[in-house]
Amino acid sequence: MKKKDDAKTMKKIDKSDMLALLTSFPAQCRKAKEIGERFSIGADYFSGCSGILFTGLGGSAIGADLIRSYLADEMPVPIFVNRNYTLPAFVSEKTLVIASSYSGNTEETVSAYKDARARGARMIAITSGGEIAAMASSDGIPLVTIPGGLPPRCALGYSFFPNLILISKLGLIPDQGQKIDAAIRMLERLRDTKVGPEVGKGANVAQAIARKLHGKFPVVYGGQDRIDSVVVRWRGQLAENSKAIASSHIFPEMNHNEIVGWQNPKDLMKKLIVVLLRDRGDHPRTAKRMDITKRLIENEGAKVLEVASAGESILERVFSLICIGDFVSYYLAILYGVDPTPVDRVTYLKKELAKV
């Protein structure tokens, strides 16, 4: 198929123009950085606190997951990510709770916000509006306002970079400005040379991966060190964009249970394909485990596809894998002939919940 025919097919299927959101992601990240830099808060706001808890769901929570993974070796205090109506018992006035809801109306996050207020927790809210913004304004809670109108999963720049900068302003980590700029430049290069729609089929890494996943059941694996949240992102994007069920697990934990399951049912093995996310920062023993596991899985008749991170810094490498995965999920949606933007079953579920 010629390039112009590919473009015509994508435009016909992608009625909501998800592609525009993916290609403009570096620009979103740059704007998100500006929002974070403009937000005014001092290190004294964290005084007396012993940890940070993000509370959110879906696209609003994955940014927090990535922050937790990215800062695992730098943070002097723990970071937790909560995906529920209520908060863990340890949350108190010594906990900084960051309520993250892109729409501002996520019912679980609204409930958790109220729980945090009742416990006297220190709080910050990040949202585009809705009930969270209204409560934060009424309660005098610091509010990071981000642009609305996007599918939450497409607003990752807004759920990650302002929060990362916020943590640096609280004095918990060094300034991240230069690292963020380098990561954005890397995203632009990756888009323009490896995964974007202007890259020819022979050189387009994301299209090649999507073709291999088409008609298969993807199983996404990666290492615990910083890549664990990227694995979650890949699985979520395959589900929401490609409308494709996928599974995931993390090394080394999967070597203590799931690896044994790669035997049955026998007729399923050839329908499975493993996407193994690899990073040069993987623990050496974890990398060795991946090598051995790959051989075991291939011996069962399943395919293993390795995807390596790109870039110099940890931040660049993490976002390179995110970028590749996002475009893979888009091209897979096109192969399945489904519009990647609508999430009809999520919408249906919310409508049903509203009835009770």
Which amino acids are annotated catalytic? Answer: 240, 256, 350
Strands 143-145 and 122-127, bridge-based pairing? parallel
State the burial class of residue 331 (Cβ atoms within 10 Å of its Cβ: 0-12, 13-18, 19+).
Answer: buried
Sequential DSSP letters for 126-180: EESSHHHHHHHHHHT--EEE---SS-GGG-HHHHHHHHHHHHHHTTSS---HHHH
Quick check: 64 and 163 in contact, CB under 8 A? Answer: yes
Structure letter (DSSP) for residue 269 = G
Distance CA 298, CA 262 (A): 10
One-letter amino acid of 356: V
The two tokens of residue 68 are 């937790």
Strand partners, 81: 54
Distance CA 300, CA 123 (A): 50
Instruction: Calculate the alpha carbon distances from 125 to 53, 60, 114, 240 in Å.
Output: 12, 12, 12, 25
